[in-house]
Amino acid sequence: MNKLFALVPIAAIVAAGAAVYARRGESQPAAPTALTIGIYAPTVEFGTAQARLQYAQSLAKAIEAQTGAKVDAKSFAQFSQLKSAGVDFAIVDGQCYAKNLGWSLLASAEVGGGTSRQWALFADGVSDMQGLKGKKLAYVQTGCDDNAFIDNAMLDSEVDPAFFAGRVGKPDITAAVAEVASYKGAAAVFAPIGTQKGLAKLFDTGSVPNPGFVQINSKVPQGTVDKVAAAVVGFGGGGAINGWSSPQKGAFQGLNGSMGRAVKHGVFASPDPVRFEAKDVLIEPETIDETATTGVRQHFERPPERME
């Protein structure tokens, strides 16, 4: 009888545990059957909008094979369109991800063998910076704090915003370079080295990270996110983006910091220590050669003799 009563509580505990496990399993989100990835990478030289979309479609097929979900690919001409489209994942230009670091970074794009590229200021018919004063500047209009990118990240907060007569925003790097090289609508452009199309380099401006592959929809199950990340890093691709590597968020954080205005202060050097002898700061009185003193006895008076 005692054994029977002992077995009943144990059976109840096992049943309760099974029920809890079942409830936990039911609470786990199911893997999605469909995903959407977007691409907004105007500083990568795809050449045409169709080539950009085709790259995203090829990457979508690789993700399909890894996850088993149907993956749709969309290309966007503006960053604001991508943000409002409700995509699950996206290839986002480096400048724009630097201003949206809350998204989870899954991979960094490789262009030219690295995850970042050196940028420079290129010009046509001008040999120095002073020659650009009062002329127009072309740039890629990303909508991601472009003026801060130009004034601070590219020009290190050292050039007055009124230095240029105007700024000509273009939808991608190909159009921005052509505005200077072909159409002559501007005298200079900031661009990655290698995209300048015969323009003369005035000076290097710094390294800028390539696009990142990010998770925008935070509700996608982690298991699916891991499969998507593996598919992207393993995607060889080809063309404008050579491949992908593990995420390197520090580069984007550094770009974000460089876009803030830098206030420079003069540097004062520490003076060299000065050593001197004590006597160098003492004033010695001149020696009196003739003292003109009187005898000591002259300072005393002999008292009168004592009278008896």
Segment 154-170, tens digit of pLDDT:
999 999 999 999 999 99
Domain encompassing residue 222: 34-115+210-258
Same domain? 55 vs 131? no
Per-residue pLDDT tens over the stretch 45-57: 998 999 999 999 9
Same domain? 88 vs 200? no
pLDDT of residue 238: 73
pLDDT of residue 262: 81
pLDDT of residue 283: 60
CA 303 distance to own-chain centroid:
103
- Which pTM value belongs to this model? 0.77
Per-residue pLDDT tens over the stretch 26-84: 456 789 999 999 999 999 999 899 999 999 999 999 999 999 999 999 999 999 999 99
Same domain? 48 vs 180? no
Same domain? 157 vs 192? yes
Q: How many domains, the chain?
A: 2
Distance CA 103, CA 43 (A): 20
Q: 115 near 251, Cβ under 8 Å?
A: yes
Task: Give bridge partners of residue 119 from the DSSP assignment.
Answer: 192, 206
Task: Give the start-end residues of each E strand in 174-264.
Answer: 188-192, 200-209, 212-215, 243-245
At residue 151 the predicted structure's pLDDT band, cuts being 50, 70 and 90, is very high
At residue 209 the predicted structure's pLDDT band, cuts being 50, 70 and 90, is very high
Per-residue pLDDT tens over the stretch 221-258: 999 999 999 999 999 867 799 999 999 999 999 999 99
pLDDT of residue 236: 81
Same domain? 121 vs 204? yes
Average predicted confidence (pLDDT) for the chain? 86
